[in-house]
Amino acid sequence: MAITGLNSIRTFTNAASQRVINACPTMTISSGKVNKTLSWIGKHISSPENRLILGVTALMSQPFIDLHNRKVDEDTRKVSAARTVAKIIAGTSTGVAIRYACIKAIDAFTEFPEKITASTKHPCLKTFFTPFEAIKDGLKDLRHYKSALGTLVSLGVMVFTNFLIDAPLTKFLTNKFVDRIHEKDKEKPVQNKEVRNVA
């Protein structure tokens, strides 16, 4: 009964996927530059770069979504946007730095066994994260493995830094931005007055 159900889900998913694929045009990438760029992205872009892209695009979209949220009053909208900007800056900077540092750290302890010689200091430490079985089975490039392991370790680290760095930094930056907004709001009527006086 359960197997029949699973099979019908699979058939439905395949049919839906086929429809989506039929709707897409056939695309042939003839430009050598585009092909090279895609290969480069596949090799070099990993979680720190992904988090950076997420942060930059978040700065370009989320504050504007908050500023145009018509369901709350203007002051709340401004404070909400300020808090969003602070959250993005704090989260992105710590997220990128910690991911990058963890991947670097894993890199230092993941050496191919054939590169370890008698003169290598602390050989066990140098291969602490080396996946021996996977290498035996033919894994030749450890770049993706190191990124994955580094990212997983960084997630554990970030559970703590989320409270130790992100939250206080977000609060500090939000207060700074909100103070700026309130100062500007106070300046507005004064400026109008001056203009009126000059007129």
Partner 1 sequence: MSLKPSFLAPFNEFVAKHYGKDTGKMLIHTGVVGWILSAAAQVMAIVVNDKIPKEQKMYLVPQELADAGVNILSFYAITQSAKSLASNLVKTGKLLPKSICGILESKGLSDKIGKMDFNVFEDAGLSATATKRLESFKSGVDVVATTVGSVLSCNIVTPLVRNEIAANRQKDLVARMHNADTNHSSYVKPGYANTKRPSMYDFTNNSGSLKI
Residue length of the chain = 199
Please give the size of the binding site for partner 1, defined by CB under 8 A. Answer: 82
Q: According to CB under 8 A, which one of 1, 2, 3, 24 is a site residue for partner 1?
A: 24
Residues 57-86 that bind partner 1 (CB under 8 A): 57-58, 61-62, 65-66, 69, 71-72, 75-76, 79-80, 83-84
Q: Are 147 and 104 in contact (CB under 8 A)?
A: no
How far apart, in whole angstroms, are the C-alpha atoms of residue 128 and residue 131?
9
The conformation of residue 114, written as its DSSP 8-state character, comes to G
Residues 139-168 that bind partner 1 (CB under 8 A): 139, 142, 144-145, 147-149, 151-152, 155, 158-159, 161-163, 166-167
Q: Measured from the CB atom, is 38 or 108 closer to partner 1?
A: 38
Q: According to CB under 8 A, which one of 2, 4, 30, 33 is a site residue for partner 1?
A: 30
Token duo for residue 97: 């730095």
The conformation of residue 165, written as its DSSP 8-state character, comes to I
Residue 94: CB minimum distance to partner 1, A: 8
Residue 157: CB minimum distance to partner 1, A: 9
How far apart, in whole angstroms, are the C-alpha atoms of residue 5 and residue 18?
20
Q: Measured from the CB atom, is 76 or 192 closer to partner 1?
A: 76
What's the burial of 58, exposed, middle or buried (CB within 10 Å: 0-12/13-18/19+)? middle
How far apart, in whole angstroms, are the C-alpha atoms of residue 149 and residue 106?
7
Stretch that binds partner 1, among 2-10, 170-178, 189-197 (CB under 8 A): 170-178
Q: How many CB atoms lie within 10 A of CB 178?
A: 16
Residue 198: CB minimum distance to partner 1, A: 34
- Interaction of residue 9 with partner 1, rule CB under 8 A: no
Residue 190: CB minimum distance to partner 1, A: 22
- Interaction of residue 38 with partner 1, rule CB under 8 A: yes
The conformation of residue 111, written as its DSSP 8-state character, comes to -
